[in-house]
A and B are shown apart, each in its own frame.
Chain A
């Protein structure tokens, strides 16, 4: 099935550092969603974006809907140990397509 390209594939950072990850596609999406998945759990919605250029924050998380509608970015500021997990972007047209995921490890 179709997937979105997400980078980086994994990140190992120190607590307190900022994190940036992005998602790109060859297709245009009208909605971008960012989810976090902990091991053995389902994805939990973090941020939803609906308009090209839109910048939305949720606490220490900020996400942007790319102007071309083919990409999206997620930033996490001042990372903490509980930020550990896998972050997925997802683009929506007539169905939700998931990115390949970014695995985040935070060291104290």
Chain B
């Protein structure tokens, strides 16, 4: 299957700092990438959908100024958690859908565990 690389896998930061997470599709082009958040023992919740070259679409209740998404190329999307606070601590997972592939399959990165002190 297609490979999605996510970096870093784990980050600890101080409250008030910003953290950037990268998501790359390694062997395919992804016009659409997705960012999910997962709390312990819960399912994945979609935060936002990013399309290459355009603004991201955020799900209801997700602050766009808090979670900045940039999808600058067909293989890279970034999520920046700005002014992080302890309640932002979570497991963030990106996903990518192959461009031109009509089968609605999304491939996921390995996730980034964010701990805000």
Asked if B103 contacts A1 (CB within 8 A), the reply is: no
Chain B binder among A37-45, A67-75, A77-85: A37-45
Given A1-B60, A50-B103, verify A99-B43 contact (CB < 8 Å). yes
Of the stretches B12-20, B68-76, B81-89, B107-115, the one at the interface is: B107-115
Using C-beta atoms within 8 Å of the partner chain, give the interface range for chain B: 20 to 34
CA distance A97 to B107 in the complex (A): 14
Complex interface bits, A46-75 against B, C-beta within 8 A gives 1, otherwise 0: 001010000000000000000000000000
Contact of B105 among A40, A45, A99 (CB under 8 A): A45
Please tell me if the beta carbons of A40 and B113 are within 8 angstroms of each other in the complex. yes
Alpha-carbon separation in the docked complex, A31 to B1 (Å): 18
Contact B110–A98 (Cβ < 8 Å): no
Q: Which residue of A lies closest to B113 (CB)?
A: A40
A40 to B113, CA, bound (A): 8
Q: Which residue of A lies closest to B6 (CB)?
A: A42
Please determine whether B111 and A41 come into contact, CB atoms closer than 8 angstroms: yes
- Known: A95-B49, A96-B46. Contact between A1 and B108, CB under 8 A? no
Write out the residue numbers on chain B whose beta carbons fall within 8 Å of the beta carbon of A25.
Answer: none
Complexed CA–CA distance, A41 and B107 (Å): 13
B59: interface (CB < 8 Å): yes
- In the assembled complex, B93 has its CB within 8 A of some CB on chain A: yes
Q: Is B34 an interface residue (CB 8 A)?
A: yes
Q: Which of A1, A31, A35 contacts B59, CB < 8 Å? A: A1
B111: contacting residue among A40, A50, A98, A101, CB under 8 A: A40
Give the complex CA separation of A43 and B1 in angstroms.
13
CB distance from B26 to the nearest CB of A (A): 14
Contact with B along A12-51 (1 / 0, CB 8 A): 0000000000000000001101010000111111001010
Mark B residues whose CB is within 8 Å of A. Answer: 1, 4, 6, 34, 42-46, 49, 59-61, 91, 93, 95, 103-111, 113
Starting from the known contacts A40-B91, A88-B43, 4 additional A-B residue pairs (CB-CB under 8 Å) come to A31-B104, A40-B113, A42-B4, A43-B108
User: Which are the 5 A-B pairs with shortest beta-carbon distances?
Assistant: A42-B108, A31-B104, A92-B104, A98-B43, A98-B44
